[in-house]
Structure 1
Amino acid sequence: MGSWPMVDDSWEESKYHLTNLLVNTTITRHESMFFDIQNTPDFLKRDKNNTDKAIIHVMSLKSMFGEKFHEIYLDPEWHNEEIDIIREYLKMNVRHFMADAGISRNESAISDDIDEIIQFETQIVNLLKEASNNDPSDQLKFARISDLKEHFPLINWEHFMVEVYPAALESYILHNPRIVIQDTPLLTRVSELVSKTEPRIIVNYVMLRYALSWNNEIGTKYELLWQALESNILHENKVEMRWKNCMDIATKTMSHATGAMWLREYFDKESKSIVDQIVTDIRMTFIEILNENKWMGNETKQAAIVKVQQMTKHIAYPELEIDDKKLDKYYKHLHINPNLTFSDNYEQILNWHFVKGAYHILEPYEIEFITNSNDFEAEYIQEKNTIVISAPIIRAPFFDKDAPFSFNYAAIGSVIGHELIHGFDHEGMYYDEKGEYRDWWDESSKNEFYRRAECIVKQYSRVKVVDKKHRIDGNQTLIWCQNYEIRQQFHRLQSDEHSPGFARVNIPLANMPEFAKAYACPIGSRMNPSSRCTVWGDDVDPTTAYDDAKQIQMKEIAKLLLKKVHSAKSTITETPVMKSSKKKSKEESGEFSNNRILIWLTVVKILLVLIIGILGILLILTMPNRIVKLQRENLSNQNHRMPLMN
């Protein structure tokens, strides 16, 4: 690994070699710091020129603590208290590392190094923020390994790939194969930042992140430090037992094995087929919506329909989790040694995952089951045009096989619909029915889509939260029940990619004319606004929803009144005039016309009686107020006259 300048005075800048440093962190912990190499089935990419082949995927870097902490770094002056907490957290970790290694170091020098690391991380987060606004067309670039030098020249990419990947791929890599790079502008900017930063700061940053990757494995004191940081920054007051942390790691890294155990004990397999049918039904319904769409160009519309038709689905669990032979074959080359430490075995599993994924590159591309029955996961995978609904979601409160269909379509159906639409959002719209990255929208349809999407962005941005002083970011759009304190709301408002739960219920309902019809919401009210936002449907006139509801209501009232009329008709005595009229009408055109006149005359009488009755009731109800008002006016007049009498 080389030495760590923050804790080792023997470090020499002349021996600084960024490529070798990142090779070592990647081989042992799969931490590449300034980019990410992924081989797992859900991250492997198809070669767009040969869709039967998988290729290496170079992904964007991640920040030290993740997106939840980004807002702090983006405005450090406002969040100076949180920066101080992060600074102390990093110092405490370094102190523990040195104590465990029997190293002593000047406290002042450590503080200076930590400050430089925080400043560097602040620059990283700002680059990530800028990248979030990049043009979607910059997201993926198909290139070759040699092209990486153009974007990050500080790294010897061929050497890095040969050292990191299994020996079986060396010949493949040396032939300069095609790869896919995520967000090349970001990779270029990160390279520029690293090149202008002192090597000492870079090594300290890499080594500290590398050391922190062990925190859940090497002792309770490190875990407690992290829990304290989460409590103070995210206001999530939770203290996990150490055994639970170890169990979580084992569950995630041995997901199919532990998932199979859970599946056989707790999951009702009949639920899988029901949800599978719900996905099919929702998919067909969306195709109907697309067929009725009037703003999409015909070619774009047909391409969208084909994409939905070819959308695959991964429901509940992969077959290997209910087949012991397939499960044993899957884990065939993984060896767990009970004589090794937990941390050593964890590294063995990480390496096994990486190597197993790497061999996919030498094999024909195959769409594997993305998730496992351990994952509480509902997602849409753009590159595979696949909807994933994992087994843990197929239970209460989202699903109950014994509940009415309407319940399940409303609950888990909303989750499925949400994920399906990701295939057509501002990112998913750039992937076709095969999961290949290409722009298949005509310009007019694309512009209209963005216009309609902007309507929804503005709609969410108008919603105030956190003591009614802050607004939702409309560009961030769980379904979970939420009851956050104000400080938690404030943090989530800044960092969560989803809008608060109440907004994700009320705003979609307000955009549905069916809701306004059902509840007869007045025009201009919050739930029947004067203007609606709809992306896939046609524009809706709010008066239509209100008028339709009123018409339904009036029809219902009319039925009630007609019942009254029919009952009243039987008690009416015919007069000679009526008999004469009746006789005449029979002779001319039958009795139906006069009977209808009689009915409407009676209806008018009843309505007049009802109106007079209502007015009488209103008069009685308001009479006390009128009397009090008159008494006050009289008293006021007397008071005005009093001085004159003197």
Structure 2
Amino acid sequence: MKKLVIGGLCASLIAGLSACSDNKTDVNAATDTVKTATAAAVEKALTSGISFDNIDESVRPQDDFYMYVNGAWMKTAEIPGDRTNIGAFYDLREKARDDVKAIIEEVAAMKDLADGSDEQKVADLYRAFMDVETLNKLGIKPIQGELDKINAIANKTDLVKYFAHSQMKGMGTPMGFYIDVDAKNSSRYAPHIWQYGLSLPEKDFYFNDSERHVGIRAAYLAHIEKMFDLAGFKDGKASANTIMTLETAIAEQHWDLVETRDSTKTYNLYQVKDLATLAPDIDWTAYLTTLGSEKQTDIIINQPSFIQGMNDIVKTTDLATWKAYLSWQLLTHTANNLTEALDAENFEFFSKTLNGQAEQEPRWKRGVATVSATLGEVVGKVYVKRHFVPEAKERMSDLVENLRGAYGSSIDSLDWMSAETKVAAKDKLAKFNPKIGYPNKWADYSKLTIKSDDLVGNAMRAGEVEHAKSLAKLGTPIDKDEWHMTPQTVNAYYNPTMNEIVFPAAILQPPFFSLEADDAVNYGGIGAVIGHEMGHGFDDQGAKFDGEGNMRDWWTESDLKAFTAKGNALITQYSGYQVYDDLNVNGELTLGENIGDLSGVTIAYKAYKMSLDGKEAPVIDGLTGDQRFFMGFTQIWRVKMKEEAMRNRVATDPHSPGHFRALGALSNMPEFYEAYGLKEGDKMYLAPEKRVKIW
């Protein structure tokens, strides 16, 4: 379900883990104490950290630096049949999954595990997923109880009660309920409702008349029919048309993805008593009581017009149609945990047709993913112990503080921002809370029951436990120790209402970060990632939040106008990047991430230069420090993706494709021009007046 977390980069087992860095670092002090790790690194004869085999010397770096750095790899790399993409991020995720597999299989091989222990839960969840023979024997029996509940719906009050019930079980529902920090009062949690209920990737898939989208809709109808037939449901073809019609009506009420990333538009605080005015035909008392939130007096409605539209759909749609839709939502959300036939058909449409994946992943991979999604921090404890050394956390802490210092210095030097706004910006920067590697406090799974012969039940019980944990936050202090990613996740994120930047252990590996690599490539890699997440604190949405995580206007009018103009220039630049002949990057959708990329590499470069303490960087493997920095940055975006998956990504992902994440940012950096001698006439050249510098 939707959480207000933006800016993600697309076992009784351990005790005594060290704490994260303090979050009250003074920016000026950080600037004054910038580390000089490079000099010590040179003495160790560190490697350049550059993947020379990937370089394509036939490409001029001034024309396409991404293809120069990664082109040889792009020509020869092949996407395995069970994947839709390969590259720096995705290959590291495969490595992390292999590492987690070893942990899970060791636990699964154990005998006589204490009932209710973390080890028992990991072992039995994995065994339940891998036991295909039992799943085939059970058929749809695991969801029969829910089907009976759906068939027993007698009126519209029962209907909205089931919406809430399905939400708690982690199944499909048209309205998504969740608990998160109140964006305008970051000292409290608040309930939210977010638009939901579609099976295709986003609303445009229901209305776009291109040949591809028309084909996808036809395939989706055939898929629903086949799934109904495999499950033994009646009237598969008629039901498919009924479901498609209802989903299309719901999709028509959805906001598009550009609107939904607007923090201002999606903050709409309502008194619960006024919901009857917004949507009088939805029984809000029944809905909130079923969710366990009946005592709440206010609620944030992220898309009010969607709820108004849902009111009319609830009012005018007969119960038989809703029952078909809810039966489908139940079936499609549980298909991976049912029979081989249902699982295979689910793959055929959602992975093969939609994303071009030729073969289904080996079952163990999906089993590992299931355990990580359900018991992530149980496995994460062991993962950290085995794969994350204390030295990496210490070096990362240094890098974070160096980037913080460089950011503060950059804010001081901005010529477009007033002194008043600079004070607020530096206050926010000083209050960034970095989290590195793993949580201080591990998640508690004691209330979750896992059985080795009840895979669907395990998933539903996990949904109920997570809902209860989330609901229990209401009225309690904000949990500053909570993480929204596991340590074994290859990613990072910025959370505006917590003003925190978070870097799980698994991303702190080559090519992003290496204890053996020279500082230039680490600053270009993980340094740019750190800067990217910091940059989200000051992107077009993050900049709406202050240092305490409250959404408020801390900008002068003239500064905001200048900031918006710079964002508009980036929208224009990225909208001009052509992914395919008929498809360009969506500059509006990707604006926040593009600001993050540009800010990240700009500040990482500044921090790298400061770390040299006035000394010249050594030449390593024939490359200057600046050249290694820019190559280190560019090689982390190396990716090759199936066309179907790329087209879906461009339609739905707020990140630009990797190729343009590199070109777009570097084309705006004068330091890159100097390092590689870019001049007018080179394909990456932008006239000085068109180059964007924000931070």
TM-score calculated relative to the size of structure 1: 0.72
Residue matched to 1:34: 174
Separation in 2 of the partners of 1:85 and 1:485? Answer: 19
Deviation readout 1:201-231 (Å, 9 max, x if unpaired)? 3332223112221112112212211221121
Within the candidate set 88, 95, 98, 2:229 is matched to: 95
Matched, 1:410 2:536: no
Matched residue SS, 1:353: helix
Structure 1 residues 163-174: aligned runs within 5 Å: 163-165=290-292, 173-174=294-295
Matched, 1:534 2:692: yes
Residue matched to 1:621: none
Matched, 1:202 2:322: yes
Matched, 1:213 2:348: no
Separation in 2 of the partners of 1:367 and 1:399? Answer: 26
Separation in 1 of the partners of 2:535 and 2:192? Answer: 25
Separation in 1 of the partners of 2:227 and 2:148? Answer: 12
Matched residue SS, 2:682: coil
Deviation readout 1:485-530 (Å, 9 max, x if unpaired)? 5555444433433222221111211111111122222225333322
Matched, 1:394 2:508: yes
Residue matched to 1:484: 641
Separation in 2 of the partners of 1:20 and 1:472? Answer: 41
Deviates more, 1:214-223 or 1:196-205: 196-205
Separation in 2 of the partners of 1:47 and 1:133? Answer: 17
Deviation readout 1:33-72 (Å, 9 max, x if unpaired)? 2222224xxxx214845x54322233332522434xx543
Residue matched to 2:676: 519
Deviates more, 1:209-218 or 1:75-84: 75-84
Matched residue SS, 1:367: coil
Matched residue SS, 1:361: coil
Residue matched to 1:316: 437
Residue matched to 1:153: 280
Residue matched to 1:632: none
Deviation readout 1:236-256 (Å, 9 max, x if unpaired)? 223123343233212111111
Residue matched to 1:63: 198
Residue matched to 1:352: 465
Matched residue SS, 1:383: coil
Cα pair distance change 1:380/1:140, threshold 3 Å: same
Letter of the 1:453 counterpart: G
Cα pair distance change 1:273/1:123, threshold 3 Å: farther
Letter of the 2:274 counterpart: D
Separation in 1 of the partners of 2:197 and 2:324? Answer: 17
Residue matched to 1:613: none
Letter of the 2:476 counterpart: E
Matched residue SS, 2:192: strand
Separation in 2 of the partners of 1:8 and 1:500? Answer: 44
Residue matched to 1:112: 238
Separation in 1 of the partners of 2:649 and 2:404? Answer: 32
Shift of the alpha carbon at 1:284?
Answer: 1.8
Letter of the 2:305 counterpart: P
Structure 1 residues 453-472: aligned runs within 5 Å: 453-466=567-580, 468-472=581-585
Letter of the 1:132 counterpart: V
Q: Is the 8 A contact 2:663 2:684 kept in 1?
A: yes
Structure 1 residues 287-306: aligned runs within 5 Å: 287-306=408-427
Matched residue SS, 2:264: helix
Letter of the 1:92 counterpart: K
Shift of the alpha carbon at 1:294?
Answer: 2.1
Structure 1 residues 598-637: aligned runs within 5 Å: none
Residue matched to 1:361: 474
Shift of the alpha carbon at 1:424?
Answer: 1.8
Separation in 2 of the partners of 1:471 and 1:188? Answer: 33
Shift of the alpha carbon at 1:258?
Answer: 0.9
Residue matched to 1:377: 491
Separation in 2 of the partners of 1:512 and 1:317? Answer: 34
Letter of the 2:196 counterpart: L
Which structure has the bigger radius of gyration?
1
Letter of the 1:204 counterpart: A
Separation in 2 of the partners of 1:225 and 1:184? Answer: 36
Matched, 1:84 2:218: yes
Shift of the alpha carbon at 1:147?
Answer: 3.1
Q: Is the 8 A contact 1:300 1:440 kept in 2?
A: yes
Shift of the alpha carbon at 1:25?
Answer: 1.6
Matched residue SS, 1:387: strand
Q: Is the 8 A contact 1:145 1:178 kept in 2?
A: yes
Separation in 1 of the partners of 2:683 and 2:523? Answer: 26
Residue matched to 2:600: none
Q: Is the 8 A contact 1:289 1:536 kept in 2?
A: no
Q: Is the 8 A contact 1:141 1:184 kept in 2?
A: yes
Residue matched to 1:183: 303
Shift of the alpha carbon at 1:16?
Answer: 7.0
Separation in 2 of the partners of 1:262 and 1:389? Answer: 15
Q: Is the 8 A contact 1:374 1:392 kept in 2?
A: yes
Q: Is the 8 A contact 2:171 2:330 kept in 1?
A: yes
Q: Percent identity at matched positions?
A: 22
Separation in 2 of the partners of 1:139 and 1:536? Answer: 25
Please tell me the root mean square deviation across aligned C-alpha atoms, in Å: 3.1
Q: Is the 8 A contact 1:138 1:184 kept in 2?
A: no
Separation in 2 of the partners of 1:423 and 1:160? Answer: 35
Matched residue SS, 1:514: helix
Separation in 2 of the partners of 1:491 and 1:56? Answer: 30
Letter of the 1:156 counterpart: D
Residue matched to 1:53: 188
Q: Is the 8 A contact 2:197 2:247 kept in 1?
A: no
The structure with more helix, counted as a fraction of residues: 1
Letter of the 1:20 counterpart: K
Q: Is the 8 A contact 2:255 2:306 kept in 1?
A: no
Letter of the 1:152 counterpart: A
Residue matched to 1:452: 566
Q: Is the 8 A contact 2:578 2:585 kept in 1?
A: yes
Structure 1 residues 326-337: aligned runs within 5 Å: 330-337=444-451
Shift of the alpha carbon at 1:317?
Answer: 0.4
Matched residue SS, 1:465: strand
Cα pair distance change 1:243/1:513, threshold 3 Å: closer
Q: Is the 8 A contact 2:201 2:652 kept in 1?
A: no
Cα pair distance change 1:37/1:299, threshold 3 Å: same
Deviation readout 1:188-207 (Å, 9 max, x if unpaired)? 33334443444433332223
Residue matched to 1:498: 655
Separation in 2 of the partners of 1:315 and 1:458? Answer: 35
Matched residue SS, 1:437: coil
Shift of the alpha carbon at 1:422?
Answer: 1.3
Matched residue SS, 1:143: strand
Separation in 2 of the partners of 1:441 and 1:207? Answer: 49
Letter of the 1:72 counterpart: F
Matched residue SS, 1:483: strand
